[in-house]
Structure 1
Amino acid sequence: MNAREQLLKRFMLEALRTLRLVRIFTDRDLSIRPAEGSMSTAELIEHIAASQNFTRGLFAEPTPTTELFRRPYDVSNAAIAAQVLAQSIQEVRKAIEQCPEEWLEQRIAPFGPDWELSRVELAHLMVDHEIHHRGQLYVYARIAGHEPPVLYAPVSEEVLEL
């Protein structure tokens, strides 16, 4: 398996796990904010989608910048928030699949010179970032009274279509 295939497999697995979790939230749950200074559930879902937009940009933009995190997303209700995340996942997948081969190992520094990494390395970092925020969503789900899905249970692309 080459670097593109490894990244695509890892991204899809983790993104689908995140989407499976997001699908358990109701409209009422979107305003949960566990502590002062915390993001609400809706804000956290929007942040994950915006982070995925940055990941998309790593493979679709010649010179990706942190401006990619500023793309707004409609997370006004739970169904729309899940649809937004499903669409974002598809956009990242397409960008990774269609990225020019020579870009994959190209070193860039969108976070500044101390963070110069290859596009693939940055994408793996962004997957780790999503996993961190998914962990927060597990806490939010329990606060909302939901039993979250088993973290490492198998997940399929069917979750994109629900």
Structure 2
Amino acid sequence: MFLTKDDFFEMLEGNRRLTMRIVEVFPEDKLFSYSPDEKLRPFAEMIKEIVNIENGYMSGVALDVWEYKDVFEGVSTKIELIKICHDVRDNTRKQWHEMSQERLEIVMKDSFFGEVQSHFARLQYGLENEIHHRGQGYTYLRILGIDPPAFYER
């Protein structure tokens, strides 16, 4: 493995800090309702997807408990959304530190999407999904006339 488990986690953490900075500057009245086109989702829905994937994958990778569920059921405020994001990440940190590097190398069929891949590749997909949706958040903010945080500040 080119990256160690800890190196990869630092990459995950830096990206999450940046994603949460986007959430924090997003106006609450737009976070749950605004999209620039009817084919696109509000940014809060993208954040829910990012964190639900994280929650499901980490339980699966770390504990072999594969369950994709919506941890945001009933959430309608920015404060609630941010709290759940932090709660899930705190749980991820705990599971990550208890998990061996070898767990990331296990190859199996993905319980959610069906592909055969390593746990590392699975988590990399989660990271790429986060980066993709964060980019949409940047675009939404700019359309709303709001300067987003600098992407290089992690």
CA pair 50-100 structure 1, distance change in 2 beyond 3 A: same
Q: Any residues of structure 2 matched to 1:69-148 within 5 Å, and which?
A: 70-73=69-72, 74-110=74-110, 111-112=113-114, 115-148=115-148
Residues 34-43 or 55-64, more deviating? 55-64
- Per-residue CA deviation, residues 31-59 of structure 1 (Å, 9 max, x unaligned), is 10221121112212211211221332243
Point out 4+ residue stretches in structure 1 off by more than 3 angstroms. none
Deviation at 1:76, TM superposition (A): 0.9
Q: Which residue of 2 aligns with 1:159?
A: none
Q: Any residues of structure 2 matched to 1:47-86 within 5 Å, and which?
A: 47-62=49-64, 64=66, 67-68=67-68, 70-73=69-72, 74-86=74-86
Q: Structure 1 unaligned segments of length 5 or more: list them.
A: 156-162
- Per-residue CA deviation, residues 76-112 of structure 1 (Å, 9 max, x unaligned), is 1122222222222222222221124442211121122
Counterpart code for 2:140: Y
CA pair 55-14 structure 1, distance change in 2 beyond 3 A: farther
Q: Structure 2 unaligned segments of length 5 or more: list them.
A: none
CA pair 126-87 structure 1, distance change in 2 beyond 3 A: same
Counterpart code for 1:90: D
Between 1 and 2, higher relative CO (CA 8 Å, sep ≥ 6) is seen in 1
Q: Which residue of 2 aligns with 1:11?
A: 12
TM-score where L is the length of structure 1: 0.81
CA pair 144-86 structure 1, distance change in 2 beyond 3 A: farther
- What is the distance in 1 between the residues matched to 2:85 and 2:37? 24
Counterpart code for 1:96: W
Aligned residue pairs total: 149
Percent identical: 27
Q: Secondary structure at the match of 1:117?
A: strand
Counterpart code for 1:71: D
Deviation at 1:63, TM superposition (A): 5.0
Deviation at 1:2, TM superposition (A): 5.8
- What is the distance in 1 between the residues matched to 2:21 and 2:57? 20
Contact 1:44 1:133 in 2 (8 A): yes
CA RMSD of aligned residues (A): 2.0
Q: Which residue of 2 aligns with 1:160?
A: none
CA pair 123-135 structure 1, distance change in 2 beyond 3 A: same
